[in-house]
């Protein structure tokens, strides 16, 4: 569609949560400062000084979400193993990155969602 990816942020909306999660965009200034590590939030925004650590407090479901996702992925892996019976090295080759990537993305997405939610609540 006709959206300009490099367009300036307007009042209409924030960047999509998915792209915010992938790039780790600060909810206040939009700098890529939200994550200090692939799945760990920074303590504060290096560009605008937003206290991300304070916003993250209370996000206690993160661990549960990750565990559930890992469980689902492992069950899926076991199910496919039963079904196709691929050689072990192949299962490992496929599922190790899928699991790691899935968990990392879920963590990032969940934390981003949480921080944005908290940020909006405080902004009101």
Q: For binding to Zn ion (CB under 5 A), which residues are involved? A: 26, 28-29, 31, 45, 47-48, 50
Nearer to Zn ion, 32 or 69 (CB): 32
Which C-beta is closer to Zn ion: that of 47 or that of 72?
47
Residue 43 DSSP label: S
Tokens linked to 92: 């490992």
CB of 113 to Zn ion, least distance (A): 17
Compare residues 44 and 81 and give the one whose CB is closer to Zn ion: 44
Measured CA to CA, the distance from residue 21 to residue 13 in angstroms comes to 15
- Closest approach, Cβ 55 to Zn ion, in A, equals 11
26 within 8 A of 36, measured Cβ to Cβ: no
Kindly state the smallest distance separating residue 49's Cβ from Zn ion, in Å.
7
Joined together, the tokens standing for residue 85 give 């019976």
Smallest gap from Cβ 73 to Zn ion, in A, equals 32
DSSP per-residue string spanning 55-119: HHTT-TTHHHHHHHHHHHHHHHHHHHHHHH---HHHHHHHHHHHHHHHHHHHHHHHHHHHHHHHH
């Amino acid at each position: 569609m006709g959206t300009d990816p490099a367009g300036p942020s307007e009042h209409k909306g924030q960047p999509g949560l998915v792209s915010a999660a992938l790039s780790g965009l600060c909810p206040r200034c939009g700098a890529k400062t939200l994550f200090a590590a692939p799945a760990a939030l920074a303590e504060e925004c290096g560009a605008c000084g937003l206290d991300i650590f304070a916003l993250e407090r209370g996000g206690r479901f993160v661990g549960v979400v990750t565990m559930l996702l890992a469980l689902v992925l492992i069950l899926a892996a076991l199910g496919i193993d039963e079904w196709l019976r691929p050689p072990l090295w192949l299962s490992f080759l496929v599922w190790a990155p899928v699991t790691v990537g899935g968990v990392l993305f879920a963590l990032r997405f969940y934390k981003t969602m949480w921080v944005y939610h908290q940020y909006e609540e405080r902004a009101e």
